[in-house]
């Protein structure tokens, strides 16, 4: 028996036979051609066939997955229509007199490498999209069959180097009990799909998983990010008990999912969801979320060729707000920048994009982007409980500047006779250490804070969360990060302002007692975690957790902190074991 460590991509445990997802290698040799125009015609015909295939997959995805998952394939169609990509392929054919397949392979690889090199994890994962599309065209040009899953006949753990969006859609989901990839990240399509389906997944497990034979038994722990090869009978029995325990706990938490998160000593805590589309809104309500702590608006800007209009944004925001009625919805304004390449925005490349002109900094110098979004949000918020939140705030002056633009938009809408939300709360994401340090000043400028622990941890620990070499430092359980969180909450409460958290830490069971003890008012997380966190909160005494949090802040390492919480709150230890 051997245990491999990877990236926890989707929570849960599964046991099953391995199914090695192996594609036929696409071998393309460089060769010269006499008739470049003939090759270009071959290319264009292959692209048209690829478009037809993708359209069929899109329709299949609409019936088997969510509309949001299906939109991936609309993006694939856009890649096939990208004039920059296609012109590069044709230019290579004409100037180098190479074959269509060689030109496509080389160009797709170049574009994919450029995307993979971006600092942002989401956009680095989009490199897979480009290679998926490029390889589809290559298979057509080479006459290679598409699907390697014809022999998948029994429920299995899918093992692969990595999986493309097309791969995941074409799989028979009834036969998938888990995903394990040698490469990939927590934001890869495989991980996103697995979380959406509630299937355990581990990414980045390394090449050794690819050596496992189809049919061999594997235990996959998506909560811890571990893969157990050739497990003993005792190990299998142990994990079967864990699976049964987790199911019992999940069933119990779902029975009470729509009840308030009231602690044993009577403190009510708000538990809400992080979403990025209307499907996420419906999932949130089903799981008992009491609103939205983070509505990511980037979904309207990505994978398209023009800025979304004010009307498009209004319709999208209103559809989401309507799902929640009078429940609160916190809309985060556009959070993109130099590390998130959106070609039609004309953003300049920056040598250190994480510290560059992004998020609110970008919006303040681009009113053509900022004002239509604010106008759409103000219109959508009429008779709804909308709150607006600005990301990546470093100084109080930025908040004042943003509020000034918001008031300009409100004045414009009034002058045009258009209804707009008047009395909405305005908040900021606290995700930069400078904002935490001057939180007492910022609290005077806003109605609430929402702590973004992913970036707060990254900036505090000076550890790029997308870099595996410093992954151990990118951990929000470090006392430096937890002390900043306490500082933020204390500063806000001193001004009678409420504090939420929309980073990954908010949905982490081991962090729940600490955050409750630190005084966090609102926990926001992925919809499936809502029932579990609510159940944990109902089982805790808020006053006792204050003492626990005080002791936690004196410890030195994340491991010490996590073990201490397990000792003090044994039922959580059972939950995360």
DSSP character string of 50-69: HHHHHHHHHHHHHHHS-HHH
Q: Do the annotations mark residue 425 as ligand-binding?
A: no
The distance of Cα 341 from the centroid of its chain, to the nearest Å, equals 17
Catalytic residue selected from 76, 189, 420, 457: 189
Is the pLDDT at 79 greater than 50, yes or no? yes
For residue 383 the two structure tokens come to 């008779």
Which residue, 352, 327, 321, is CA-closest to 337?
Answer: 352
Burial 360-389 (b: 16+ CB within 10 A, else e): bbbbbebeebbbbbbbbbbbbbeebbbbbb
Domains of the chain (ranges plus CATH)? 2-23+149-235 (3.50.30.10), 36-142 (1.10.274.10), 250-576 (3.20.20.60)
Longest CA span, the chain:
82
Mean pLDDT, rounded, for 358-373? 93
List 121's β-bridge partners, or say none. none
pLDDT computed for residue 113 by the predictor = 79
**Cα–Cα distance measured from residue 194 to residue 5, given in angstroms and rounded to the nearest whole number:** 18
pLDDT at 338: 45
- The predicted-structure confidence for 462-510, as pLDDT tens digits, reads as follows 887 656 567 678 789 999 999 999 999 999 999 999 999 998 899 989 9
Q: Which residue has the tokens 């005084």?
A: 519
* pLDDT tens per residue, range 410-447: 999 999 999 999 999 999 999 999 999 999 999 999 99
Q: What is the pLDDT of residue 69?
A: 62
pLDDT at residue 190 tops 90: no
Would you list the DSSP string of 142-192?
HT--S-S-TT--S-EEEEES---HHHHHHS-GGGEEEEEESS--TTSHHHH
Q: What is the mean pLDDT of residues 290-318?
A: 89
Which pLDDT value is given to residue 501? 97
Q: Are 331 and 295 in contact (CB under 8 A)?
A: yes
Of the pLDDT bands very low, low, confident and very high (cuts 50, 70, 90), residue 369 is very high
Q: Tell whether residue 265 is among the known ligand binding residues.
A: no
pLDDT band at 337 (very low <50, low <70, confident <90, very high): low
Which bin fits 12, alpha (ψ -120 to 50), beta or left (φ > 0)?
A: left
332 annotated as a binding-site residue: yes
- Position 59 pLDDT exceeds 50: yes
Most confident of 190-194, 404-408, 526-530: 404-408
Q: Using alpha carbons, select from 158, 346, 274 the residue that is nearest to residue 524.
A: 274
3-state secondary structure of 233: helix
Q: Give the distance, in angstroms, between the CA of residue 306 and the centroid of all CA atoms in the same chain.
A: 23
Q: Is position 454 annotated in a ligand binding site?
A: yes
- Per the listing, tokens 């054919």 go with 93
Question: What's the confidence (pLDDT) of residue 26?
Answer: 76
**Residue scoring higher pLDDT (71 or 265):** 265
**What is the pLDDT confidence band of residue 220, given thresholds at 50, 70 and 90?**
very high
Token pair, residue 35, equals: 């008739």
pLDDT of residue 72: 74
pLDDT at 154 over 70: yes
> Please, which pLDDT band fits residue 328 given cuts at 50, 70 and 90?
very high
Q: Which of 172, 102, 165, 186 is nearest to 137 (CA)?
A: 102
Instruction: Using a pLDDT cut of 90, give the percent of the chain over it.
Output: 56
**pLDDT at residue 93 tops 80:** yes
Map residue 17 onto helix, strand or coil.
strand
Mean pLDDT of the chain: 88
Phi and psi at 303, nearest 5°, equal 55, 45
The yes-or-no answer on residue 502 being catalytic is: yes
Instruction: Name 450's Cβ contacts closer than 8 Å, sequence gap at least 6.
Output: 293, 294, 330, 389, 427, 428, 429, 430, 499, 500, 501, 502, 522, 524
304 labeled part of a ligand binding site: no
402 compared with 301, residue with greater pLDDT: 402
Helix (H) or strand (E) holding 227: strand 226-229
Specify the pTM: 0.74
Query: Is the pLDDT assigned to residue 397 strictly greater than 80?
Result: yes
Give the other-Cβ count within 10 Å of 420's Cβ.
20
CA distances from 454 to 55, 111, 451, 477, 576 (A): 36, 28, 9, 11, 21
How many C-beta neighbours within 10 Å does residue 242 have?
18
| Overall average pLDDT of the 142-146 stretch | 75
pLDDT higher than threshold 70 for residue 227: yes
Which tokens go with 170? 């074409």
pLDDT for 339? 47
- Clarify whether 189 is annotated catalytic: yes
Backbone φ and ψ for 448, nearest 5 degrees, come out as -160, 160
Of residues 64 and 245, the one with the higher pLDDT is 245
> Can you tell me the mean pLDDT for 452-465?
86
Q: Is 270 annotated as a binding residue?
A: no
Q: How confident is the model at residue 251 (pLDDT cuts 50, 70, 90)?
A: confident
Is 17:129 a contact under the CB 8 Å cutoff? no
């Amino acid at each position: 028996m051997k245990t491999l460590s990877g990236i926890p991509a989707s929570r849960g445990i599964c046991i099953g036979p391995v199914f090695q997802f192996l594609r036929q290698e696409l071998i393309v040799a460089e060769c010269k051609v006499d008739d470049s125009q003939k090759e270009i015609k071959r290319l264009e015909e292959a692209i048209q066939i690829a478009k037809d295939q993708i359209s069929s997959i899109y329709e299949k995805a609409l019936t088997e997955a969510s509309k949001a998952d299906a939109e991936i394939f609309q993006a694939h169609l856009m890649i096939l229509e990208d004039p920059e990509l296609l012109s590069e392929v044709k230019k290579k054919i004409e100037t180098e007199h190479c074959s269509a397949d060689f030109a496509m392979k080389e160009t797709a690889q170049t574009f994919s490498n450029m995307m993979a090199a971006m600092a942002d994890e989401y956009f680095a994962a989009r490199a897979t999209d480009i290679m998926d599309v490029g390889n589809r065209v290559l298979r057509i040009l080479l006459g290679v069959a598409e699907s390697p899953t014809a022999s998948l006949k029994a429920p299995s753990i899918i093992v692969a180097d990595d999986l493309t969006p097309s791969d995941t859609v074409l799989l028979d989901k009834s036969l998938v009990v888990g995903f394990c990839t040698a490469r990939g990240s927590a934001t890869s399509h495989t991980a996103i799909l697995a979380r959406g389906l509630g299937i355990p997944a581990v990414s980045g497990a390394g090449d050794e998983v690819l050596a496992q034979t189809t049919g061999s038994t594997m235990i996959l722990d998506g909560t811890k990010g571990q893969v157990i090869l050739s497990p003993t009978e005792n190990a299998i029995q142990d994990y079967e008990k864990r699976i049964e325990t987790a199911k019992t706990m999940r069933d119990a938490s779902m029975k009470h999912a729509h009840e308030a998160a009231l602690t044993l000593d009577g403190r009510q805590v708000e538990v809400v969801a992080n979403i990025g589309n209307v499907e996420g809104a419906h999932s949130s309500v089903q799981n008992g979320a009491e609103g939205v702590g983070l509505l990511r608006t980037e979904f309207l800007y990505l994978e398209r060729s023009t800025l979304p209009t004010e009307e498009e944004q209004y319709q999208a925001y209103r559809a989401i707000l309507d799902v929640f009625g009078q429940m609160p919805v916190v809309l985060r304004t556009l959070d993109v920048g130099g590390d998130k390449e959106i070609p039609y925005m004309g953003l300049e490349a920056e040598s250190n994009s994480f510290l560059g002109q992004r998020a609110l900094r970008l919006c303040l110098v681009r009113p053509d982007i900022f004002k239509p979004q604010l106008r759409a949000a103000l219109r959508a918020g009429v008779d709804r409980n909308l709150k607006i939140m600005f990301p990546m705030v470093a100084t109080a002056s930025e908040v004042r500047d943003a509020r000034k633009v918001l008031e300009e938009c409100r004045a414009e809408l009034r002058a045009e006779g258009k209804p707009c939300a008047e009395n909405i709360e305005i908040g900021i994401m606290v995700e930069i250490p400078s904002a935490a340090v001057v939180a007492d000043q910022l609290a005077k400028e806003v109605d609430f804070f929402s702590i973004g622990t992913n970036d707060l941890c990254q900036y505090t620990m000076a550890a790029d969360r997308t870099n595996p070499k410093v992954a151990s430092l990118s951990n929000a359980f470090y006392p430096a990060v937890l002390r900043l969180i306490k500082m933020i909450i204390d500063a806000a409460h001193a001004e009678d302002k409420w504090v939420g958290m929309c980073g990954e830490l908010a949905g982490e069971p081991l962090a729940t007692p600490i955050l409750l003890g630190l005084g966090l008012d609102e926990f926001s997380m992925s919809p499936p975690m809502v029932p579990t966190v609510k159940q944990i909160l109902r089982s805790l005494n808020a006053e006792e957790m204050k003492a626990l949090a005080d002791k936690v802040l004196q410890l030195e390492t994340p491991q010490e902190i996590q073990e201490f919480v397990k000792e003090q709150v044994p039922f959580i230890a059972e939950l995360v074991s």
